[in-house]
Structure 1
Amino acid sequence: MHNQWSHLSSRNMPFRPHTRLTLITSHNSHQISTRSVWAHSLCQRTQAGHTNRWQLAGALGSDLLGQAQVRRAEEFGDKSANRKIKSADPMTLHWHEDATSCPQSPLPQLIHPLSAGRRTRLCKDVTWSSKPDTPEEQFNILSRRLTQNAKPDAVLECLGVRWELHCSVLSYSDILSKLYTNSKRQRDVQLQERAATSKHSKVNRTQCERGLVSRKWHLSGPLILRLPVKDASINKEALSFALRTLYDPEERPSEWGEAVLSTAALLGMSNLLEKCLKEMLANISSLTVCSFHRVSCKLKETVLQRACERWLELFLVTELSFHIQLRDLPFDLLLKTLLSPRLFTSNEYEVLRAVLCWLYLQLNPLRQTLPAHSTIITFFSKETAVFLEQPQGQKYVAIFQALRIHGITEWQHLQELQNIRVLPESWLLHILSNHYHTLYRGGDMVLTDFSKQAIRFGMMLDREQVCCTQTISIHGFYFLLQAAKMGESDTYSFSIERLKHWDPAVCQSSVVSRPYSVRSDRSVCYHITVQSFASGEWQEHSSGAVSQEFGLCKRRSRSTPFQIEGLSSPILVTFALAFPF
């Protein structure tokens, strides 16, 4: 092997007297020539599209400009129609050693990650999705389609938008019809005054002709109706929907709620108002009950207001207390619900938990999620002063006075009451002393008002349930609450049965941790309330206050069955019990 001068080196390097010449072997020369050919093939540029830039044949993964253009193209939308265009695939290329494609090339090659042997530029179809129409565009499209692009008779200026209306639909809105009539009367008066003025004035013929043309244009042009909006709940979406119902009564909004109801009341659309009320009555839930009650009070819709209050009596403890919307419940409405004799709860402790959760959300208004019960207990336990004795807690005293805390008899729950710094010590002392004296007297309770002092227990029957039972313990006495369906009919039977403390229905662990009374007879005053949904409303059935002696023998241990016909699920049953002297 002999050495020779490289033509490339001699051509590119100018001759200098003190420059050292470099010898390159023939093998290195062959590698450089191969590399030059391969690089030359990559530098060939092709045009992508008529207006796009020139691009390299093999797209680089570091082509930031090309990737930026692709991203901008994806963000740009065309609302006229869905179009399919060819766009460069922005998928990133990666380095790969491929000896077969260029065996003598020492440089790594760029290939597509999905196809190692393919250098061609991949393309894909990009479908542009049009943006949703604005509320005013939705109204214009519908009105022009149904009126066949007829000229508008009036233009409503409301919420910063001009809504083109026609006389044929204005009669469905009392307010719009009144505005149109008044505006037309004012324009007629102005035209008459202008005509009288031009008749007695000395003007030339050209000016008279111009006046006639002007009067003719004003007479045939659309009237301008201005409707101010002071209610913050009314938005463009609700107004657009209300105006669309003038042309198509089958239109439906994205959500029936305060905005639609307020808009219907503003425009005086009685049909839409009744339809909205009907939809809202059928969709009262934990997510909507607070907002529905607020708008019903604002618009004085007593039917919707009573329906929301009735729903709260049934589901405040069992449903709303497990949703963050509990924080939107007003103080007065909560107090009214707690004082209602139809309030449904599984036991008195659950009512206390719901009130503590509501109070925690009132004191922490920025919280967006429902807290765990342990978090609530920790929050109130770390306070050094009693909450209800502080100026901040004085306004909540009425809420806790409405609770039947004397009905909380489990020792774990009583210990929790002592740990949280909410109730005054005088309240706790009164509750614990009453429990002690009741146990000492064999279960006799000091009753002044049975309807407000009876201890409540509840159960719910679903469609699939035929029988439901619950074992309870009150001051050493055990009872079995029963609700059962009688055969295939829609008749249900409700009863109370006294249990011996060694009865199999009584959990043995409960007997160990709870007191039990050996008293043979126990005078009990009870009240059974059954609430079920039928004929589109909640119906209530009551047994009234019943007094009975419950003994340990089988003949005297069971109450008279309370039977009701025509019930449909869900069925909410409340047993209220008290032990008089």
Structure 2
Amino acid sequence: MPSTCFYPHGNGQWPSPGPPHRQRRQVGCTNRWRLAQTAAGDMLGQAQAWRAFSLTNQTTGSAYTLQLCEIPSSQESPVLLTSSLPPIAASQPAGACPGVPHCPEQSFFVLSQEVTQNAKPDAVLQCLGSIWELHLPYLSRSKTLSELYMNYKKQRNKLLQERSGCIRAGMSGWHGGVRRWTQTLKEDGGMTWMSRGSLRCTLLHLPVHDHSVTKEAVSFALRTLYRPTESPEQWGDAVLSAAVLLGLPDLYQRCLDGMMATITSDTVCDFHQASCKHKQIGLQAACEHWLELFLVTDLSSHIGLRDLPFELLLRTLRCSRVFAVREYDLLQTVLYWIYLQFNTSKQTLPSYSTVISFFCGITGAFLEQPVGYKYVPLFEALHLHGITERHHVEEMEKMNVFPHSWLLHTFSSHYCSIHSGGDMNVTNFSKHSVRFGMIVGGELQEYTQAVGLYGFYFLLKTSRVGDADEFGFSLERLRHWDPALTESCRTTQPFSMRAERCVCYQIRVQSCGGGEWMEKSSGVISQVFGLSKRCSRSKVFAAGGLSLPLYVTFALAFPTP
């Protein structure tokens, strides 16, 4: 039974509807009866037609391939070999991908033809196994392509002069000159002539040694020659490397600005690697600032945490600006990261109970085993003495991560601090302080958070002051009957009745607005907090010119008198 299908002609256009009659058409390797108009339900016929159409395009496309011109030494004069096949249609560029809507070569060809109004190319670039038809007014905007084109012109003029000298020297000298000219054309860096039907243009070879350069990036970079406002789907190392390859400083700077404005949990690791590769200190600093704020709040809940390099994670943990609501959140992030290093096939982030089970299943302490030695600096960078909540301490003891000596030292310091009125051995404030974080966003006029440390409790407070972008930050010591404390805290947590407590504290405020990182700090302040209202509050630290959200860190330490 003949199959009916509405199929396209060889030029990619659908046939115009005609009177309903049967026509005998030759389609690919078959010879079937087709109806001029399609039947909507004839899926088999449609599939056969598209398969035959694709086969025909592949066959003819290979026949239309641009041919390199070589000059035989037996010829008396240099001639340009041209193909006897018909020229490639304007709607199908050489090297394009038929039927593929997002082919990089096709995207570039369509844009270049639109801008140049279907003008003939002056040169053809051979790069990454594809060819790209270029026009001289736009080609000259690229430093690399301009040098290739000018070097070719100089080489060709020199060879033409040699040929003229051979002609004047006689026929024997001419043949030798032809052979030398032909050999030089093959050895002049890959630049020669290319023919397509009656069209003749310069062929430029551009080798690529950087594996990060992709066809999509080259296509986009070449499109910016014709339309500078063109934007890619994603800025990244591929576009940055393509800009370097083609010598496009404006695109290079656009890419840097675009990368700095689009740092997310999906891109921060790749962008930081690209910044190190291209020695871009500004982009590197932006990625590190992003990690200081969002390592815990964003990246720790994303599978991209696995791609964070060890050195960068360690540097972030050691930084005094790293933000976390609790010290335990940083420990949790490190445990997640190590788990992902040993389970590289995971495509989604597991639950925290799965991570705990993984470490509980290890025989012996993880950090005392050969596979765990290199991760010791990560845990040394944490403020383990700031993990004081009961269920967090129990989890630390349950996991087979820390050696017994580490746990003994941590728990002993907790015990001594509680029984000595909160005294801590503070020799370096940035290392020995305990940090508490608060995220301020929205339209509320005041944000508060109650925290406790070694039997002392404080209310951390952030409030708007006057203008919308000015805030005041302070802390207040709480008494055990204060309503800001929860019932479970009053009944299960230890309380110190010490009338006065000397506290060293620092308030750090960070934000990012308009691509600019802002930081305000009160510096380290020492103050004695009492139980009475008069001496239980700190001075207000005011900061303006900030944009929401704010990431506020209160660092506390109780020095020994």
Shorter-chain TM-score: what band?
0.7 to 0.9
Structure 2 counterpart of 1:462, one-letter code = G
Determine the C-alpha separation between the residues in 1 that align with 2:33 and 2:208. Answer: 52
Q: 1:199 aligns with which of 122, 143, 168?
A: 168
Would the aligned equivalents of 2:166 and 2:174 in 1 still touch at CA under 8 Å? no
> Residue 246 of structure 1 aligns with which residue?
225
**For residues 292 and 76 of structure 1, do their structure 2 counterparts lie closer, same or farther at Cα, with a shift above 3 Å needed?**
farther
Q: Which residue of 2 aligns with 1:114?
A: none
Question: Which protein shows a greater Rg?
Answer: 1
Please, which runs of 5 or more residues in structure 1 have no aligned partner? 1-46, 80-128
Worse-matched range after superposition: 559-568 or 142-151: 142-151
**Contact 2:306 2:337 (8 Å CA) reproduced:** yes
1:277-312: CA deviation from partner (whole Å, max 9, x where unpaired): 111111111111111111111111111111101100
Partners of 1:345 and 1:54 in 2: how far apart? 70
Query: Which residue, 237, 245, 259 being the options, matches 1:280?
Result: 259
Preserved contact between residue 77 and residue 130 of structure 1 (Cα < 8 Å): no
Change (3 A) 1:148 1:207: farther
Amino acid at match of 1:167: L
2:304 counterpart of 1:304: no
Matched residue, 1:469: 448
Q: Show the 5 A alignment for 1:75-224.
A: 131-202=100-171, 221-224=200-203
1:328 paired residue among 307, 314, 318: 307
Aligned-pair CA distance for 1:376: 0.2
Q: Return the letter of the residue paired with 2:146.
A: S
Partner of 1:383: 362
**Residue deviations 1:167-210, cap 9 Å, x none?**
2123321111122222221111111112111211237999999x
Moved more, 477-486 or 68-77: 68-77
Partner Cα separation in structure 1 for residue 383 and residue 257 of structure 2? 36
CA contact (8 A) 1:143 1:244 kept: yes
| 1:502 correspondence with 2:467 | no
Q: Cα 1:563–1:205, aligned 2, differ >3 Å: closer, same or farther?
A: closer
Distance of 1:198 and 1:531 partners within structure 2: 78
Farther off after superposition, 429-438 or 141-150 = 141-150
Report the Cα offset of residue 442 of structure 1: 0.9
Say which of 363, 375, 388 aligns to 1:396: 375
* Residue 541 (structure 1) aligned to one of 520, 523, 547: 520
Structure 2 residue 556 is matched with structure 1 residue 574: no
What's the secondary structure of 1:250's corresponding residue? coil
Q: Which amino acid aligns with 1:548?
A: Q
Residues of 1 paired with 2:99 and 2:120: CA distance? 28
Give the alignment's TM-score, normalised by structure 1.
0.77
User: Which of 221, 241, 244 matches 1:265?
Assistant: 244
Structure 2 CA distance, aligned partners of 1:153 and 1:70?
40
Aligned-pair distance for 1:78? 8.4
Question: How far is the alpha carbon of 1:447 from its aligned partner?
Answer: 1.1
Equivalent residue letter for 1:199: R
The whole-number CA distance in structure 1 between the counterparts of 2:102 and 2:382 is 52
Deviation, structure 1 residue 154? 2.0
Map Cα deviations across residues 380-427 of structure 1 (whole Å, 9 max, x no partner). 001112111111111111111101111000111011001111111111
- Distance in 2 (alpha carbons) for counterparts of 1:460 and 1:414: 25
Partner of residue 64, structure 2: none
Deviation at 1:48, TM superposition (A): 9.1
Contact 1:183/1:224, CA 8 A, preserved across alignment: no
Aligned to 2:16: none
After the TM superposition, which of the residue ranges 554-563 and 511-520 deviates more from structure 2?
A: 511-520
- Rounded Cα–Cα distance in structure 2 between residues aligned with 1:359 and 1:559: 40
1:550 maps to 2:529 = yes
Shift of 1:49: 5.1
2:207 is aligned to 228
| Match among 385, 399, 403 for residue 420 of structure 1 | 399
Unmatched tracts of structure 2, length 5 or more: 1-19, 25-31, 56-97, 186-191
- The answer (yes or no) to whether the contact 2:193–2:203 under 8 Å persists in 1 is no
One-letter code of the match for 1:290? C
The farther-off stretch of 244-253 and 424-433 is 244-253
* Aligned partner of residue 554 in structure 2, secondary structure: strand
Candidates 316, 322, 346, aligned match of 2:295: 316
Letter in 2 for 1:555: R
Match for residue 95 of structure 2? none
> Given residue 159 of structure 2, which amino acid in structure 1 is its aligned partner?
Q
Task: Find 2:424's aligned residue among 436, 442, 445.
Answer: 445
Contact 2:166–2:177 (8 Å) recurs in 1: no
Which residue is 1:350 aligned to? 329
* Distance in 2, Cα, partners of 1:152 & 1:559: 74
**8 Å CA contact retained: 2:162, 2:177:** no
* Structure 1 residues 218 and 326: alpha-carbon distance in aligned structure 2, compared to 1, 3 A threshold: closer
Where does structure 1 differ by over 4 angstroms across 4 or more consecutive aligned residues? 47-55, 70-79, 203-209, 217-221
**For 2:219 and 2:470, how far apart are their aligned partners in 1?**
49
Equivalences, count: 475
- How far residue 147 of structure 1 moved from its aligned partner, in angstroms, is 2.1
SS at structure 1 position matched to 2:334: helix
Higher relative contact order (CA 8 A, sep 6+): 2
Counterpart of 1:512, as a letter, is: T
Check whether the contact 1:347–1:456 (CA below 8 A) recurs between aligned residues: yes
